[in-house]
């Protein structure tokens, strides 16, 4: 049994790692889980499952390394394996369709160039949250990891098991889609391209 | 009184390589481009109106995302029930 050769945490060390390195991330974990599932109970279950797995596999976590990224990776894998199928709100946009449409950068910039920083700053309600929730799950995930949680591209690549180049392009596309939705909101708030007097 | 989105006569109104420039600006905002990033950013912001506008738009979106989308309240007993489950599993 090669497992025996590996240094394992003692009971006490386990508690120290679990309480000191894992539990402090529970707010971020729940926020991530909720934005993936859109359901409080599912999010709760997902976070609980993640922490149970983290405890069970605690010996594969090296103390002092990035616990938050390690936990997010477990949560994301649990979501894909156990929850995605039964998710109450299926993705509203077909990934393939989106990828094809957004293959051209020119399309991106023409369509979002009239969205201004000021109109985004004036969005005081749930516009941004709704826009984020409306993205297909793969796009939503990269925005959450990068902009809400501040992970680096390298950390995101590890969490998502994809190359850094894919992280970069997916994030870029996700942001363009988000801007596209925000532009629609901005227009309905009266920030249209042409200023009209009534 | 300078408006952050004000157009400046020194800035060109067309960006010759909008795709590359915008992706570069986004990487700088993400903290991924360190070497020479600050100088490059300053140059773009000073000289190119589309880059200037795009940078401030991206910055605004990141700020709003951070303030509006990170505060999902944690269910009251979640942390407690996780600790209990771990206790039971020992």
Yes or no: say if A141 and A76 are a contact pair by the CB < 8 Å rule: yes
pLDDT value of residue B6: 59
Q: Where in chain A do CATH 1.10.1740.10 domains reside?
A: 11-83
Residues B27-52 have pLDDT tens digits of 888 988 767 778 888 888 898 988 99
Instruction: Answer whether B16 touches A (CB < 8 Å).
Output: no
> What average pLDDT does the segment B14-22 reach?
83
- Domains of chain B, by residue range, sit at 18-89
pLDDT value of residue A95: 52
Of B22, B61, B85, the CB nearest to A48: B85
Residues A131-163 have pLDDT tens digits of 999 999 999 999 999 999 999 999 999 999 999
Of A23, A128, A179, the CB nearest to B69: A128
Model confidence at B1: pLDDT above 70: no
CATH architecture for segment(s) A11-83 = Orthogonal Bundle (1.10)
Model confidence at B15: pLDDT above 80: yes
Model confidence at B86: pLDDT above 60: yes
Chain A positions touching B17 (Cβ under 8 A) are: none
Q: Do B86 and A27 touch (CB under 8 A)?
A: no
Instruction: Answer whether B65 touches A (CB < 8 Å).
Output: yes
> What average pLDDT does the segment A19-42 reach?
96
Would you say how long chain A is, in residues?
198
Please determine, for the modelled complex, whether the ipTM score is greater than 0.90: no
B60 CA to chain A: closest CA distance, Å? Answer: 6
B65 CA to chain A: closest CA distance, Å? Answer: 7
Model confidence at A111: pLDDT above 70: no
Q: What does the mean pLDDT of chain B come to?
A: 84
Instruction: Answer whether A47 touches B (CB < 8 Å).
Output: yes
Q: Where in chain A do CATH 1.10.10.10 domains reside?
A: 95-188
Q: Do B65 and A147 touch (CB under 8 A)?
A: yes
> What average pLDDT does the segment A161-182 reach?
93
Model confidence at A193: pLDDT above 60: no
Q: Do B61 and A106 touch (CB under 8 A)?
A: no
More confident residue, B11 or A58: A58
Instruction: Answer whether A13 touches B (CB < 8 Å).
Output: no
The topology (CATH level 3) of A95-188 is Arc Repressor Mutant, subunit A (1.10.10)
pLDDT value of residue B32: 86
pLDDT value of residue B40: 82
Top-ranked range on mean pLDDT: pick from A48-62, A77-91, B24-38: A48-62
DSSP chain A: -GGGGS----HHHHHHHIIIIIGGGHHHHHHHHHHHH--HHHHHHHHHHHHHHHHHTGGGSPTTS-HHHHHHHHHHHHIIIIITTT-SS--SS-HHHHHHHTT-HHHHHHHHTT--HHHHHT--SSHHHHHHHTS-HHHHHHHIIIIIT---HHHHHHHHTS-HHHHHHHHHHHHHHHHHHHHHHHHHTT--SS----
pTM: 0.84
pLDDT value of residue A198: 41
Of B19, B68, B78, the CB nearest to A44: B78
pLDDT value of residue B7: 63
């Amino acid at each position: 049994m090669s497992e025996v050769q590996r240094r394992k945490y003692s009971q006490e060390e386990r508690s120290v790692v679990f309480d000191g390195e894992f539990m402090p991330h529970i707010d971020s974990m729940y926020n991530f889980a909720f934005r993936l599932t859109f359901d409080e109970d599912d999010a709760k279950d997902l976070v609980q499952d993640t922490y149970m797995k983290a405890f069970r596999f605690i010996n594969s976590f090296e103390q002092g390394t990035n616990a938050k990224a390690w936990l997010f990776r477990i949560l994301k894998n649990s979501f894909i394996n156990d929850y995605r199928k039964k998710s109450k709100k299926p993705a509203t946009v077909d990934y393939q369709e989106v990828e094809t449409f957004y293959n051209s950068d020119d399309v991106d910039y023409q369509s979002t160039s009239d969205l201004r920083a000021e109109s985004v700053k004036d969005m005081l309600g749930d516009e941004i949250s709704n826009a984020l929730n409306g993205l297909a799950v793969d796009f939503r995930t990269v925005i959450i990891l990068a902009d809400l949680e501040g992970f680096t591209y390298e950390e995101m690549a590890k969490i998502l098991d994809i190359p850094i180049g894919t992280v970069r392009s997916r994030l870029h596309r996700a942001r363009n889609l988000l801007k596209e939705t925000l532009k629609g909101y901005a227009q309905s708030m009266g920030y249209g391209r042409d200023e009209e007097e009534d | 009184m300078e408006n952050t989105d004000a157009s400046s006569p020194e800035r060109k109104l067309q960006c010759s390589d909008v795709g590359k420039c915008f992706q570069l600006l986004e990487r700088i905002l993400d903290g991924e481009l360190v070497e020479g990033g600050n100088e490059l950013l300053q140059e773009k912001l000073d000289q190119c109106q589309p880059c200037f506008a795009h940078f401030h738009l991206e910055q605004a979106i990141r700020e709003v995302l951070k303030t509006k989308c990170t505060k999902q309240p944690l269910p009251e007993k979640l942390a407690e029930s996780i600790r209990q489950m771990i206790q039971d599993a020992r």
